[in-house]
Amino acid sequence: MLARRGNRLALKELRAHTKALAEEASAHDKTLSELKGAKEAAEMANEAKSRYLTNLSHELRTPLNVMLGYAQLFCQDTRLSQSHIDTFKIIKRNGDHLSDLIEGLLELSKIEAGRLCLHRDECNLKTMLQQLVDMFQMHADKKGITFRYQPSGHIPDYVITDKQRFRQVLINLLSNSIKYTEKGSVTFRVSYRNEVATFSIQDTGEGISSRDQKRIFQPFEQIRSTHNQAIGGTGLGLTISSALIELMGGEITLDSQLGKGSTFGIRLMMPSVYHEVRTLEQDNLRAKGYFGERKAILIVDDDKDYQKLLVDFLSPLGFILKIASDAKSGLEILHKNRIDLAILDVRMSAQDGWQMVKTMRKQNLYTPVLMVSANARDNESSLAAQGYHNGYLTKPINLNTLLIKIGQLMMIKWQSDKEPEIQALSNSTPDFAESNKMPAKKEHYMELIAMAEIGYLSGFKSKLIEIETSFFIPDGVTAKLNQYLQQCNFPKIVEYLREVSCE
């Protein structure tokens, strides 16, 4: 009887435990279902935010591109008085600031979504740093504080890094240091050793407490006090800077004490490049034309203001311009005319830029294509069209950068105010006796053949420009290579170069 009673009690207790476990499991299933629903809702909200930022970026960048483009044109117009030029420089500077704010929002969105792609650019480090110093020297002078630039003597001329994002980080840090320093100085130090660049930005501001030093790297966080209540900002600069430096494989540090100022430090791997690639940006030249026969450029964009901007900018340089407002009209122009370069807007009605460039290649139209978009996120979509286009620029476009891209894709040499005008190359045939360069050797042509055999278009163009800079190549050879390059006919290039190298 006692054994039976014990069994019944044990069975009763087991049933109670089983019921409790079943209820707990049901509660877990319910919680898991709610968490899954919350996660899906959060992902949908994040995707909706990304779409909103994408559309907002496009709507803001389109008019901003035209405004900044004309500001750049007027800044270079020697017919205007200095006071008018200074006014346009103010417009450009504020437009650039607005562009940076838009870029900051998009960068944060891409970082959160894990969609940020870094680029390997050859960057003139000394030139870029000097440009930043000149820009922030004016800000410091207006505020009445001292700005010091202290570079070490071993900084290389050229390094490899993501130029745009690295510049963005330095702008954020320098801007903050000057913004939060009421009196005293800001010191910008740069050193370079063993392929590692070290940057230090020290100010004599009010400093940051140890409690707030981690918080300032969080999104939309700003440390407010009685001294900086009136200072504006989105609170995204340090968040983006920290995330970008981490993605680039570097580190960012902060050393600060209340009442004594702050020091932000950056350590970043920057491999040096010892060969120089001359561009308009590095030489700071103002192009007034180009050598050789006239080239035709097709502009396909549904924005009339942007069409007019490019016409006003490119026409004085001697280009033949063809304009189309949609992909269908652009394709008709390509079939009826000889076009040396097509500049396509990504977003257009009916058929967008990516669809148009794919259609071009399917119809055996191998004209070099430069894609332009007011949406920075479209650059990621370029992966889907890889191999179809030859270059990509984001609005608002720096006109100097546009010239550099055009020069690279069309393989033209610019005329500038710093060099005398000479006869077009197409109208003259200088021989080697008139040139100060040694003729290109067989090994140089073999280097070009190696690039052509693997279909490396951009590498072939860069190598050809590099050889032409130091050695003499007959104009007939260059013209023939350009003809084959327009068609992307690498077998013919290889065959022709083998014949030339054996002569």
Whether the Cβ atoms of residue 393 and residue 402 lie closer than 8 Å to each other: yes
Tell me which of 376, 407, 438 is where a domain ends: 407
- SS3 state at 195: coil
Q: Is residue 242 part of a domain?
A: yes
Task: Verify that 335 and 287 share a domain, yes or no.
Answer: yes
User: Which domain CATH number covers 255?
Assistant: 3.30.565.10
Q: Give one DSSP letter per residue of 436-501, joined into a string.
A: SSEEP-HHHHHHHHHHHHTT-HHHHHHHHHHHHHHEE--HHHHHHHHHHHHTT-HHHHHHHHHHHH
Task: Verify that 126 and 266 share a domain, yes or no.
Answer: yes
Q: Is residue 107 part of a domain?
A: yes
Percentage of the chain modeled with pLDDT above 70 = 78
Residue 381 reports pLDDT greater than 60: no
pLDDT tier, 150 (very low <50, low <70, confident <90, very high otherwise): very high
Tell me which of 242, 273, 304 is where a domain ends: 273
Total tally of structural domains belonging to the chain: 4
Question: What is the average per-residue pLDDT within 113-136?
Answer: 78
Q: Is residue 417 part of a domain?
A: no
For strand 185-193 and strand 158-161, is the pairing parallel, antiparallel, or unpaired? unpaired
Q: What is the four-CA torsion angle of 386, 389, 395, 399, rounded to 10 degrees?
A: 140
Give residue for tokens 């500001």.
71
Higher pLDDT, 203 or 389: 203
Domain with 330 in it: 280-407
Task: Verify that 157 and 50 share a domain, yes or no.
Answer: no
Q: Is residue 151 part of a domain?
A: yes
Task: Verify that 126 and 89 share a domain, yes or no.
Answer: no
Task: Verify that 492 and 395 share a domain, yes or no.
Answer: no
Q: Is residue 478 part of a domain?
A: yes
Residue 282 has a pLDDT of 45
Q: Give how far the C-alpha of residue 95 lies from the chain's centroid of Cα atoms, to the nearest Å.
A: 17
Task: Verify that 293 and 269 share a domain, yes or no.
Answer: no
Residue 27 has a pLDDT of 87
Residue 323 has a pLDDT of 92
Q: Is residue 489 part of a domain?
A: yes
Task: Verify that 70 and 109 share a domain, yes or no.
Answer: yes
Choice among 62-71, 147-156, 292-301, 418-427 with the minimum mean pLDDT: 418-427
Angle between the N-to-C axes of helices 163-179 and 125-143, in degrees from 0 to 180, rounded to the nearest 10 = 20
Higher pLDDT, 464 or 213: 464
Residue 104 has a pLDDT of 63
Residue 107 reports pLDDT greater than 70: no
Whether the Cβ atoms of residue 260 and residue 207 lie closer than 8 Å to each other: yes
Task: Verify that 56 and 90 share a domain, yes or no.
Answer: yes
435 contacts: CB under 8 Å, gap ≥ 6: 472
Residue 365 reports pLDDT greater than 80: yes
For strand 296-300 and strand 320-324, is the pairing parallel, antiparallel, or unpaired? parallel
Task: Note the pLDDT tens digit of each residue in 25-67.
Answer: 888 888 888 888 887 777 777 667 666 666 666 677 778 778 8
500 contacts: CB under 8 Å, gap ≥ 6: 445, 477
Residue 431 reports pLDDT greater than 50: no
CA angle 363, 366, 368 (to 5 degrees): 135
Residue 199 has a pLDDT of 94
Task: Round to whole Å and give the CA distance between 396 and 273.
Answer: 29
Tell me which of 407, 441, 470 is where a domain ends: 407
Whether the Cβ atoms of residue 62 and residue 374 lie closer than 8 Å to each other: yes
Which of 224, 226, 254 minimizes the C-alpha distance to 238?
254
Task: Verify that 133 and 263 share a domain, yes or no.
Answer: yes
Residue 200 has a pLDDT of 94
Percentage of the chain modeled with pLDDT above 90 = 10
Which token pair is 35? 């968490």
Which of 357, 332, 360 minimizes the C-alpha distance to 344?
357
Task: Verify that 252 and 289 share a domain, yes or no.
Answer: no
- Computed over every residue of the chain, the mean pLDDT equals 78
Higher pLDDT, 142 or 145: 145
Q: Give one DSSP letter per residue of 379-426, joined into a string.
A: HHHTTTTTTT-SEEEESSPPHHHHHHHHHHHHT--EEETTS-----GG
Task: Verify that 258 and 148 share a domain, yes or no.
Answer: yes
Task: Verify that 338 and 458 share a domain, yes or no.
Answer: no
User: Which domain CATH number covers 346?
Assistant: 3.40.50.2300
Q: Is residue 23 part of a domain?
A: yes
Question: What is the average per-residue pLDDT within 273-283?
Answer: 50
Alpha-helical regions (H) of 194-352: 237-247, 280-283, 304-314, 327-336
Which token pair is 349? 């009605």
**How are the residues of the chain apportioned to helix, strand and coil, as percentages rounded to the nearest 5?**
55, 15, 30
Q: Is residue 163 part of a domain?
A: yes
Higher pLDDT, 447 or 383: 447
Task: Note the pLDDT tens digit of each residue in 338-359.
Answer: 999 999 988 887 788 888 988 8
Q: Which of 207-216, 339-348, 451-460 has the highest mean pLDDT?
A: 339-348
